[in-house]
Chain A
Amino acid sequence: MSQVSIQNVKIAVVDGDLLVRDFVSTVLMYCVNRDVLSFDNGMAAWRYLEGADSPDIIISEVDVSGLNGFELLARFKEKHPAKKCLLMSSNPDDEKIARDSGADAFLAKPVSVTDLFRVVEAFVV
């Protein structure tokens, strides 16, 4: 598993549920001591991710409006194959699709603090 440097890591969180999005962002911001971008829908996230200054890691809910998590994953991986895309879901059927689609991680909900710490330990030095 390739890793990115913690000094430069840039993370984006995409989830339509404000409480979940804020919680995930707070944990990651605390863990990496960097600002964390957050988006409430897939299209807004994609508009930002298309740019040159795109994040190193995106963590997206599968069931999100605009572009869903799988569509976002496909576009992001096509443009930035080396960067990491992690999917969160409350639907067990999404796990296999996430694996087949090339997601770097699948975070089953409810997501815990230790799950997010594990993600940082796995993808950020």
Chain B
Amino acid sequence: MLRTGPSSGEIRNMSGEDIFSSRLKLLIIMAKAYLTGCPIGKYRKQAIIENSRCVFYHSLQLVNKMASSKDQGLKVQACTVFADDMHEEHIFYQRTLLLAVMAKALAQGRLKGYFREKALKENLNRIREAFIFNFNVKDVKCLKVA
């Protein structure tokens, strides 16, 4: 029997954060696979669009939550380090929003041109600086066929 996932001591229900983090990882893989030249078939396009939608709305919720915390003055008492952290977090979620938009565009065949692909690569690199996730698309055989 194949066994995957955490060890028995770490097994638990999946939270909303687990789902968001996993969907973001999937979006990164989808974008990397596109940049690596992996083919995109009909259902793969559908999966990219669906995943982009989920990441977009979750990121938007987090951005709004941060904005409302700020409006309620929670940041007023905070030290500069905390303010910087909030700023970095805000930028991070803006980048995940952008990645979701870019991924949807690539699935719809609208992410054409050198500079758009360059922007996608740069955005992916910035996200991966904050969100450590190592994955080699070339290691996954099924992504090479559509």
Contacts and interface: CB of A to CB of B under 8 A. Distances in A.
Interface in B29-61: 29-30, 41-44, 46-48, 50-51, 54
B interface residue count range (under 10 / 10 to 19 / 20 to 34 / 35 or more): 35 or more
Interface string A9-26: 000000001011011001
Contact of A29 (B1, B19, B43, B145): B43
A43 interface: no
A122 B3 CA distance: 11
A33 B146 contact: yes
A104 interface: yes
A121 B141 contact: yes
B141 A104 contact: no
A37 interface: no
Interface residues of A, number: 44
A27 B26 contact: yes
B2 A124 contact: no
Given A31-B143, A113-B22, A124-B142, A19 B16 contact: yes
B142 A120 contact: yes
B26 A90 contact: no
B25 A115 contact: no
Interface of A: 1, 6, 17, 19-20, 22-23, 26-27, 29-35, 86, 89-92, 95, 98-99, 103-115, 117-122, 124
Q: Which 9 A-B pairs have the closest CB atoms?
A: A108-B5, A92-B8, A30-B47, A105-B2, A115-B4, A33-B41, A29-B47, A110-B18, A110-B14
Given A27-B47, A92-B9, A95-B8, 5 more contacts: A20-B19, A107-B4, A110-B13, A110-B14, A117-B142
Interface of B: 1-9, 11-16, 18-19, 22-23, 25-26, 29-30, 41-44, 46-48, 50-51, 54, 135, 140-143, 145-146
6 contacts: A26-B23, A30-B47, A33-B145, A109-B13, A109-B14, A110-B5
